[in-house]
Chain A
Amino acid sequence: MSPEPVTTVPAASVASRVSGTLGIEDRPALAVDIRGLRKVYDVTAAVDGIDLAIPAGEFFGLLGPNGAGKTTTLRMLLGLTPIDAGSVRVLGMSIPEQEREIRKHLGVVPQFDTLDPDFTVEENLLTYASYFGLSGPVLAQRIEDLLELANLETRRRSRINTLSGGMKRRLTLARALINQPELVILDEPTTGLDPQARHHLWRQLRRLRDRGVTLVLTTHYMEEAEELCDRIAIIDAGRIIACDSPRALIAAHVEPWVISLSARSARRFIADPSALPARMLEIADSWLIYTADPAAVRAELDAAGLPHATRAANLEDVFLRLTGHDLRE
């Protein structure tokens, strides 16, 4: 057994630890540096050659359909999935060799609830902190701060099974922050939450920006990605097919305006679609018309007497354009 010193000293900053190996000129330091990452299950590649460089302080989103490889990528960041090929460096340290050291500076919000049902809210924080070797008055103060952040001060003695879904998520985030992490990893943090709870969690996450925390999250919600992330990687079939800021992705991949109309109207309208300065797409029982010149299309639709609605293109349009419309499951 290797006795290991248990530390209560707050972590040194990423920059100072990394600069020792990289040198000052390499800043900004990368919180995550993934190169040529691959993971093969049986014969299928779940992750098929991913390169990813996330600078410290960035809020980064992994977006993709189910089974695209998002969760596998996150698991490899945490050392929970063995790497078949490529390299993963987190906070300047490499996986799997320095896994334990890395996780001292990491906060994790898993996709599924892993709170301890035998404990109260406060005991959950206390117990989780003990895994980091944290204790004493510093921890007590930190728990107070986190209970306040999570808006759970009045529920500190509540059992976990009496909490709502939103409260559990907030507590899970608070728990992930107990060691004052430099990098927080969230796997679908707001899946299953109602809009109020979702907005509350977003607000909590935004507050981490001021502390210089790096955030890596996966999500299905385009709104969440647009709302929170500086940059987004769209991932499909184990590969990154696009990576940029939400605004740049929209500008690069879709026309700026979208006009929607019902399928019945559309059938009358598209007798000759080639006549239009636009791209048309059928989704379920409505049609979307992507165009840079909405006035011209609207004039046509009005002339035909068809009801329609116009909006600015968003991330969902990019996502559908790049990953297609087929159901994945």
Chain B
Amino acid sequence: MSRAHRPLLPRPSLRFIPVWRRNLRVWRKMMMPSLLGNFGEPVLYLLAFGYGFGRLVGELDGMSYMVFIASGIICSSAMFTASFEGMYSAYTRMAEQNTWLAMLGTPLTLDDIVFAEAVWAASKGLISAAAILVVASALGLVTDVRALLALPVVFLAAFTFGSLALVITAVARSYDFFLYYFTLAVTPMLLLSGVFFPLQEMPEWVQRLAFALPLAHVVEIVRPLMTGRWPTGVGLHLTVIVSYGAVALILATTLIHRRLIR
């Protein structure tokens, strides 16, 4: 009866904010190691790939390899951070700590909770992207102010990746389950979306596959913005990103509802 009453579209209320703030409060307790990771990792990547590899590669698409890769990993890092948050951390709150169950004793609904988790995953993705932007600017790889416009795009993308991760969490029976998603979805996207090398080098069918997935579209918008150019086809790219996010959020909410309300 109650399941039949449930509308397809989630209807989160502004009560999602306290849930988001709860996660922020936990994060602040572990802020130092977390930020160290956010700043440390891109520095390592930029130095290792940029110097090590960049010497061999020289210029790509009219920019130094360092700049190329900096504008790529800002996207992949947001994807990884949001995916981790939407899987390992959200699963812990759902299945291990019963945090969501406790919340369901209050006026919060699962619509609020799942939406808050997606926004939180997006926030973590944004933090990691901002850290990379700071590092890249400090290294002189980013000079144009348009780079700041990449941040809202990254936030939106991280919301999508967080929502996708929550779909996996909804059906996961243990932490090991997440390896399937990383191996079958996240890693292929990382390698095939123009993060480390231009997509144009790949066979036609690979390119088509890449653009069927969201990460390539994120890179297409973010890379020009990071390098002082205006991206093209923004409408199409954003549509793909938003569509993935919307469908994933609906699916995640429905599946989590089915899992917990029984």
Name A residues whose Cβ lies closer than 8 Å to a Cβ of B: 1-4, 6, 78-85, 95-97, 99-101, 103-104, 106-108, 110, 112-119, 123, 127-128, 130-133, 176, 179
Contact = CB atoms under 8 A, between A and B. Distances in A.
Contacts of A119: 25-26
A127 B262 CA distance: 26
Nearest to B104: A80
Nearest to A99: B109
A3 B17 CA distance: 11
A132 B260 CA distance: 21
Given A103-B105, A106-B105, A176-B105, A114 B1 contact: no
B229 interface: no
28 contacts: A1-B11, A1-B12, A1-B14, A2-B11, A3-B13, A4-B13, A79-B261, A80-B104, A82-B3, A85-B1, A96-B2, A97-B5, A100-B109, A104-B107, A107-B105, A114-B98, A115-B102, A116-B22, A116-B97, A119-B25, A123-B25, A127-B22, A127-B25, A128-B102, A128-B106, A130-B22, A131-B108, A132-B106
B101 A110 contact: yes
Contact of B261 (A81, A127, A176): A81
A245 B60 CA distance: 83
A119 B109 CA distance: 22
Interface residues of B, number: 31
B22 A100 contact: no
Contacts of A1: 11-14
Contacts of B37: none
A26 to B, nearest CB: 26
B32 to A, nearest CB: 15
Interface string B141-185: 000000000000000000000000000000000000000000000
A130 B21 contact: yes
Contacts of A85: 1
By Cβ-Cβ distance, the 4 closest A-B pairs, closest first, are A108-B105, A82-B2, A114-B102, A131-B106
Given A3-B13, A79-B261, A131-B103, 12 more contacts: A2-B13, A78-B104, A80-B261, A82-B262, A96-B1, A97-B5, A114-B98, A123-B25, A130-B22, A131-B18, A132-B106, A176-B105
Contact of A78 (B21, B105, B262): B105
Interface in B233-262: 260-262
A82 B1 contact: yes
The DSSP consensus for interface residues of chain A is: loop
A81 B29 CA distance: 35
A82 B19 CA distance: 24
A131 B16 CA distance: 9
Q: Which residue, of B98, B106, B108, has the highest number of chain A Cβ atoms within 10 A?
A: B106
Contacts of A116: 22, 26, 97, 99, 102
A107 B98 CA distance: 17
B15 interface: yes
Contacts of B97: 114, 116-117
A4 B19 CA distance: 15
A327 B261 CA distance: 29
A12 to B, nearest CB: 16
Contacts of A176: 105
Nearest to A117: B97
Given A96-B2, A96-B5, A131-B18, A118 B26 contact: yes
A168 to B, nearest CB: 13
Contacts of A96: 1-2, 5
A1 B112 CA distance: 10
A78 B2 CA distance: 12
A103 B5 contact: no
Contacts of A82: 1-3, 261-262
Contacts of A108: 105
A4 B14 contact: yes
A176 B105 CA distance: 8
A131 B113 CA distance: 11
A103 B107 contact: yes
